[in-house]
Amino acid sequence: MLNAHLSPGPLPSRMQLAADGKLKHFLTIEGLPPLLLEEILDRAEQFVTVPNKQQKKAPLLRGKTVMNLFFENSTRTRVTFEIAAQRLGADVINLDIRTSSASKGETLLDTVRNLEAMNADMFVVRHEHAGTAHFIARYCAPHISVLNAGDGRHSHPTQAMLDMFTIRQKKGSFQPLKVAIVGDVLHSRVARSQIHALTTLATGEVRVVAPKTLVPAGIEKMGVSVFHNMDEGIADADVVIMLRLQRERMQTALLPSEREFFKLYGLTEERMKLAKPDAIVMHPGPINRGVEIDTRVADGEQSVILEQVTNGIAVRMAVMSMIMGPQGGAA
Amino acid sequence: MSLLIRNARVIDSASGLDGLRTILVDNGRIAAIAEASACFRAEDEIDASGLWLFPGAVDLAAWLREPGLDQKATLESETRAAAASGITTLCYQPEPGASFDSAAQVKLIYDLNGRRRSANVEVLGNLTKGLKGEQLSNMASLKRAGCVGVTNGLQPFHSLQTLRRAMEYAATHDLTVFIYPIEHALAAGGYMHEGEVSTRLGFPAIPSAAETVAVAQTLALASHTGARVHFCRLSARLSVKLIRQAKESDLDITADVAAHQLFLTEMDVSDFNPLCHVMPPLRSSRDLEALREGLADGTIDAICSDHQPHEVDAKLAPFQQTEPGISALETLLPLTLRLVDEGVLSLPEALRKVTAAPARIIGSEAGRICVGAPADLVLFDPDDLWELDLNRMYSDGKNTPFAGWNFNGAVKRTLLAGKSVFVG
């Protein structure tokens, strides 16, 4: 027992797949085969809602219990997971851990053991520390699957997949595309997962655009090119992804002011002219109008920001059903 | 009580001795070193044919936890682990919760260890009261109580002025100041080396500059105050360069590195392995190479274990919530000797880094084989191949990332002042 606890487990990318190559946990995009990412996108197509049409429940997960473990609050993300699980016929239980056990001093492992005892099939986990979903996946009972809904600055794989879904919907294939990711890459788990997804899907060029204070060390090793000048960074881009900039970045001396940031890196109509004429604008939300993106661009014709949200449900349904559905990796 | 050790290959880096000898031990000390054929008689005799005999290792940093943090380890458990690992002298590394402000606290350690001595324990006293980095500790009485140096451990100084004064005061009393070079403002909130892996994993990170800035500042203050400074646990390439340069001037400085820094890098954290959560963090392969070069050219004087035993729960959490440190007594000698296999150091040089060199840094007469020296000795079988198994570790802390590693050569017997404290 002691041994099992202390010996290092397999790499996160390795432990996500069952012996037959099917998805068992979804913790990070890194290391997953391109075919599996495409399978997620293909399956999500089946779940996309058509406006004004009653969405039929696809009860692939009837009898399964999904527990949303949110150690860090996020109403929006939690709700999309909740809707996805319900549409698949699963029972959903939401646990806001910050206000319960963790604040009473219970260790994470004890919390997990207790929830396991309540017959959960899947934990959807969000936590402020990188590696938490991986930790839970390593130590929870073998019949349970873990879906990472965001861990620290590390990974947010369903967000990245819904972004890939949106890009594929609009652009078809990834190979010819130039994608610019703009803003606070340093603190962004979304950016890291997007980069892994885009490079796995063989995107033509992936760029990150930000001042040096917001670009983490050695990010080139992830297969991206770094631009500090916005005009050069979005020149000729097919996809412009803006990241949320949090106000506290000004307090920690990473940036001088919102105004200067907007002047240098804010996405305006003027700047969008540098991108391809049919370029799309994306944002994982919530957006800060006038900080990283101008209102006219956020609400403009090239913006697909709200479609991203809609696609989020389909992509999460796809991932959940691939893990827990008939012939899933947890079966 | 006299003891004769026959036919061992005796390796002593201090004197350059390397050959078959017979050693006579009497009254806890080495009484004679003679040709293998010499005719001595003693009350006890060991035939050490096929074995190496070298001085017991002197470890500059072991976090021994007791009293105060006994849930992690005790003096008894850890000195036993030391004996089983060929280590005969341990320096007690103070930390908040187990530190030394007064002579009485130092004496308590000597008394506790004296009851059932498996290894010598030397004490590093606090450089500032409570390691708080604000007021000077009672260094003169700490020295009288037997402290072999003073340190603030990993705790920050309130200001550079405090550090300067502390160094001056230590110099007044001819105490070596053990400095962990870390600029807390640059390291704050970080958990691993700032580089491609921390970027990939999304960890708040500690840049190499957090160390090199502190090395540069401390060197300037060493030059200003004339204090004798020992730099603890170097991890960064530029630190090695700075210390190499400083040694070319006439600064009275020495440096060590933890054994694990010579074998592990940031890549070993790739799977969020909390067993590789250490301070200073594991750095890049370029840093590792520079540390090895620094060892080879003498810039880095000693290799230590930086032994930090933990209870299981301390490592059973997501990486950022785990406590840093490796239970490392049992890998100090094996990893050091592996440097010989990998062509980094010659055998006598490797042994010097864990015997004569650290002994000199703490002003100990141990760490060498010569007539009159304490008979703290290790008999070692170079042909015994073994695998590190967590369930067979002696330390109370099983937190090592080296489980499953194979090592060439094993300790067969450890003598402390001529008495067998371990027989394998």
Catalytic residue among B306, B376, B381, B396: B306
Query: Chain B contact for A24, CB < 8 A?
Result: no
Q: Which tens digit of pLDDT belongs to each residue from B397-411?
A: 999 999 999 999 999
Contact A152 B199 (CB under 8 A): no
pLDDT score of A252: 83
- Nearest residue, CB atoms, A217 vs list B199, B318, B319: B199
Q: How many CB atoms lie within 10 A of CB B43?
A: 9
Chain B residues inside the 8 Å CB shell of A129: 318-321
Contact A130 B317 (CB under 8 A): no
Q: How far apart are CA A81 and CA B204, in angstroms?
A: 28
Is B313 annotated in the active site? Answer: no
Q: Which tens digit of pLDDT belongs to each residue from B11-66?
A: 999 999 999 999 999 999 999 999 988 888 899 999 999 999 999 999 999 999 98
Q: How far apart are CA A266 and CA A243, in angstroms?
A: 10
B194, B198, B271: best mutation site toward chain A, by most A Cβ within 10 Å?
A: B271
Query: Chain B contact for A153, CB < 8 A?
Result: yes
Q: Is the pLDDT of residue B238 over 90?
A: yes
Contacts of B337 (CB under 8 A, 6+ apart): B347, B350, B407, B408, B409
Contact A154 B203 (CB under 8 A): yes
Chain A nearest-CA distance from B317, in A, is: 7
Q: Which tens digit of pLDDT belongs to each residue from B77-112?
A: 999 999 999 999 999 999 998 999 999 999 999 999
What domains does chain B contain, in order, with CATH numbers? 2-53+373-423 (2.30.40.10), 57-361 (3.20.20.140)
Residue A52 pLDDT class (50, 70, 90 cuts): low
Residue A4 pLDDT class (50, 70, 90 cuts): very low
Contact B391 A9 (CB under 8 A): no
Contacts of B267 (CB under 8 A, 6+ apart): B197, B285
* Chain A residues 103-132 with a CB less than 8 Å from chain B: 107-109, 127, 129-132
Contact between B112 and B73 (Cβ < 8 Å): no
- Nearest residue, CB atoms, B199 vs list A7, A12, A219: A219
What is the identity of the amino acid at B113? N
What domains does chain A contain, in order, with CATH numbers? 2-152+310-324 (3.40.50.1370), 157-300 (3.40.50.1370)
Query: Chain A contact for B312, CB < 8 A?
Result: yes
- Nearest residue, CB atoms, B391 vs list A3, A134, A217: A3
For B351-390, letters b (16+ CB in 10 Å) and e give bbbbbbbbbbbbebebbbbeeebbbbbbbbbeeeeeebeb
B186, B193, B200, B396: best mutation site toward chain A, by most A Cβ within 10 Å?
A: B200
Q: How far apart are CA A216 and CA A187, in angstroms?
A: 8
- Nearest residue, CB atoms, A129 vs list B205, B321, B403: B321
The sheet with strand A239-242 has its strands ordered as: A225-227, A205-209, A178-182, A239-242, A280-282
Q: What's the whole-model pTM score? A: 0.93
Contact between B275 and A6 (Cβ < 8 Å): yes
For A319, the enclosing helix (H) or strand (E) is helix A305-324
Give rounded-to-5 percent helix, strand, coil for chain B. Answer: 35, 25, 40
Structure-token match 């703290």, residue found: B376
Chain B residues inside the 8 Å CB shell of A2: 312, 390-391, 398
Contact between B292 and B239 (Cβ < 8 Å): no
Residue in chain B nearest A196 by alpha carbon = B200
Percent residues over pLDDT 70 in chain A: 91
Residue in chain B nearest A112 by alpha carbon = B317
Q: Is the pLDDT of residue A100 over 80?
A: no
Query: Chain B contact for A10, CB < 8 A?
Result: yes
What is the identity of the amino acid at B53? L
Strands A280-282 and A145-151: unpaired
pLDDT score of A103: 60
- The complex scores an ipTM of 0.90
pLDDT score of A99: 59
Q: Is the pLDDT of residue B181 over 50?
A: yes
Burial class (CB in 10 A: 0-12, 13-18, 19+), A46: exposed
Q: How far apart are CA B212 and CA B178, in angstroms?
A: 16
